[in-house]
């Protein structure tokens, strides 16, 4: 780039932490350096007492992220700079012709050293005691968005990360209806007035506040709510009016303070945000938040974070479908108002959107996204969470081998939420038969395999239209069952059953003739970015789970 060398040189000349004399080395014949990741090395040092040092690091984006995540030395309480050591002055000078170092040079958080003599002179060899100051909202710059999948173990996934020391978390759907809390109590008010409003809501607002703040501080809400309200103004200027994004971060800091969590490490924690959190309100006061307003509010919260990643969990589609069907029929709590009947639920879960939609990630707000498999977390928790933490750019922690909510025992002991591996092998045949699963795999074989699941039932047989009709005329198991007439009045509904079989036969004929829909392209045929599936590095002799 024209003039980039001079631009870098001018920035470094005013950088007190740059130890090279340009009068002696105005030009270079060095080699263009290789850009290699140093994130693992960086993360391995963040829990050390010594300042962090990287050798021959040239990935500008990574180094910028590291500088942004490091707390300033005055807030950390001791030397907290990133020491960058370069073995070749010539190669570094060559890099100044193509890489923009100005942001890093001006950050005040990087120390540049060249050669062993400077390393011995400038890199501290003994640790200094640290007395970190409390975190503030301006230090929180990174968001991890957890994207839930119904009946896929998303609660289990979120509870694994709940107590991680590098994550600011609010446990298990805890930020539900934050959008309306913001609109009712916080918007356009100075902090002092907003907090007082939260302390003393009027009669109509009390239930709204309690339902949502109790949910956020769950299990110990009576003792945590006063601490939360006392902590909230500590992160904000009491006379200032703040926007949605800043209040969002303050809620996280105050909630974690109320739960007794302290963050004293040298890098600022990342907000781990469960997608349930900005959900539509259960209780409405004089007004509603329509979908457009809700989407705009959510996007505003996301967009103002400098660094964003999206991560979620995916479960074998058969396991998800079986679990959903079982929960729907046995529990009934997901039935009314969600799906009108067991067949409507079945249809919704074997359509293209159910198994194809989450294979792609086109949201421009989240250019980096990945998923872990439910089965990998159950069977290989250490290996899988190590890979997960690497993706999230946080150190691995023993907390990943436990499930908690707001730092406490989650109170959920069923197999899906805990580390019991039974749900991995549970065939869910109470409401779904082997033949049902065979036909579902036939309809979605390619989609299953994209996620790394090998077919368990369908063997790839090609059927004639006549044989397909015979195959799909056979009743699904739920059609033949006597269900609770109070929950499912009029079941089985023969007219609905007839329409269902007409629909599913046509779908099977289309798949057999034309194949499944290609989810790697959009409706205009343009390529879509596929979501990465994080696979653990298995030990010798281990085999990846096969569904």
In a domain, 13, yes or no: yes
pLDDT at 176 over 70: no
pLDDT tens readout for residues 45-69: 998 889 999 999 999 999 999 999 9
- Model pLDDT, residue 147: 80
- Quote the number of domains for the chain: 2
Interatomic CA distance for residues 503 and 159, integer angstroms: 39
Q: Is residue 401 part of a domain?
A: yes
Q: For residue range 93-130, what is the model confidence (pLDDT) as tens digits?
A: 999 999 999 999 999 999 999 999 999 999 998 888 88
Does some domain include residue 504?
no
154 with 116, same domain: the answer is no
Residue of 66, 67, 114 whose CA lies nearest to 87: 114
Q: Is residue 317 domain-shared with residue 168, that is, in the same domain?
A: yes
Q: Are residue 90 and residue 185 in the same domain, yes or no?
A: no
Residue 85 lies in a domain: yes
Contact 107, 84 (CB under 8 A): no
**Domain stops at, among 359, 389, 409:** 409
| Co-location of 226 and 270 in the same domain | yes
Same domain for 43 and 169, yes or no, is no
262 within some domain: yes
Same domain assignment for residues 226 and 304 = yes
Residue ending a domain, choose from 384, 409, 434: 409
Sort strands 408-409 and 404-405 into parallel, antiparallel or unpaired.
antiparallel
Task: For residues 78 and 195, state if they share a domain.
Answer: no
Q: Determine which of 164-178, 197-211, 466-480 has the lowest per-residue pLDDT on average.
A: 164-178
pLDDT at 337: 41
C-alpha span between 532 and 253 (Å, rounded)? 30
Per-residue pLDDT tens digits for 207-223: 888 877 877 787 677 88
Mean pLDDT value across residues 434-461: 86
Examine the domain organization and report whether 160 and 198 are in the same domain: yes
Q: Is the pLDDT of residue 1 over 60?
A: no
Does residue 208 form part of some domain?
Answer: yes
- Judge whether 377 lies within some domain: yes
Output the average pLDDT for the chain. 86
Q: Cβ(59)–Cβ(37) under 8 Å?
A: yes
- For residues 98 and 227, membership in a common domain is answered with no
Of 355, 389, 409, the domain-final residue: 409
pLDDT at 259 over 50: yes
For the chain, give the percent of residues with pLDDT over 90: 50
Give pLDDT tens digits for 64-94.
999 999 999 999 999 999 999 999 999 999 9
pLDDT for residue 188 is more than 90? yes
Residue 375 has pLDDT above 50, yes or no: yes
DSSP 480: G
> What residues make up the domain containing 10?
4-122
Whether residues 403 and 299 share a domain: the answer is yes
Pair (155, 88) in one structural domain: no
Q: Are residues 155 and 98 both part of a single domain?
A: no
In a domain, 457, yes or no: no
């Amino acid at each position: 780039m024209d003039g980039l060398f001079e631009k870098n040189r001018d920035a470094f000349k005013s950088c007190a932490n740059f130890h090279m004399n340009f009068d002696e080395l105005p030009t270079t014949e060095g080699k263009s350096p290789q850009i290699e990741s140093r994130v693992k090395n960086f993360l391995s040092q963040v829990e050390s007492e010594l300042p962090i040092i990287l050798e021959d690091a040239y990935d500008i984006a990574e180094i910028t992220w590291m500088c942004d995540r490091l707390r300033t030395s005055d807030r950390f309480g001791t030397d907290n700079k990133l020491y960058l050591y370069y073995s070749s002055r010539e190669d570094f000078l060559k890099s100044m012709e193509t890489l923009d170092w100005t942001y890093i040079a001006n950050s005040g958080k990087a120390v540049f050293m060249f050669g062993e003599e400077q390393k011995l002179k400038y890199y501290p060899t003994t640790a200094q005691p640290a007395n970190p100051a409390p975190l503030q909202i301006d230090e929180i710059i990174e968001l991890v968005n957890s994207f839930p999948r119904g009946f896929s173990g998303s609660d289990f996934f979120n509870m694994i990360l709940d107590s991680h020391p590098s994550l600011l978390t609010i446990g298990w759907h805890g930020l539900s209806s934050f959008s309306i809390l913001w609109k009712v109590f916080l918007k356009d008010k100075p902090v002092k007035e907003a907090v007082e409003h939260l302390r003393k809501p009027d009669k109509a607002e009390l239930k709204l506040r309690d339902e949502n703040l109790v949910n956020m501080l769950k299990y110990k809400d009576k003792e945590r709510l006063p601490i939360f309200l006392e902590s909230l103004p500590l992160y904000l200027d009491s006379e200032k009016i703040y926007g949605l994004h800043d209040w969002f971060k303050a809620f996280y800091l105050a909630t974690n303070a109320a739960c007794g969590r302290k963050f004293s490490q040298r890098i600022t924690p990342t907000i781990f945000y469960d997608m349930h959190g900005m959900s539509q309100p259960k209780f409405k006061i004089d007004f509603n938040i329509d979908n457009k307003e809700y989407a705009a509010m959510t996007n505003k919260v996301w967009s103002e974070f400098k660094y964003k990643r999206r991560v979620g969990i995916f479960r074998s589609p058969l396991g998800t479908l079986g679990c959903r069907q079982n929960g729907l029929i046995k529990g009934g709590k997901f039935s009314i108002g969600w799906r009108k009947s067991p067949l409507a639920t079945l249809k919704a879960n074997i359509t293209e959107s159910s198994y194809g939609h989450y294979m792609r990630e086109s949201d421009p707000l989240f250019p980096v996204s990945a998923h872990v498999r439910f089965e990998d977390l159950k069977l290989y928790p250490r290996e899988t969470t190590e890979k997960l933490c690497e993706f999230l750019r946080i150190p691995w922690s023993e907390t990943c081998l436990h499930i908690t909510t707001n730092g406490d025992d989650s109170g959920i002991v069923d197999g899906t939420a805990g580390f019991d591996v039974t749900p991995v092998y549970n065939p869910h045949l109470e409401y779904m038969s082997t033949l049902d699963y065979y036909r579902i795999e036939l309809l979605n074989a390619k989609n299953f395999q994209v996620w790394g699941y090998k077919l368990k039932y369908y063997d790839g047989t090609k059927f004639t239209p006549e044989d397909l009709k015979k195959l799909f005329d056979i009743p699904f198991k739920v059609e033949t069952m006597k269900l609770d007439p109070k929950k499912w009045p009029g079941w089985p509904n023969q007219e609905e059953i007839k329409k269902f079989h007409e629909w599913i036969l046509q779908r099977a004929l289309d798949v057999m003739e034309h194949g499944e829909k290609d989810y790697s392209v959009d409706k205009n045929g343009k390529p879509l970015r596929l979501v990465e599936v994080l696979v653990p590095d298995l030990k010798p002799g281990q085999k990846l789970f096969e569904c």
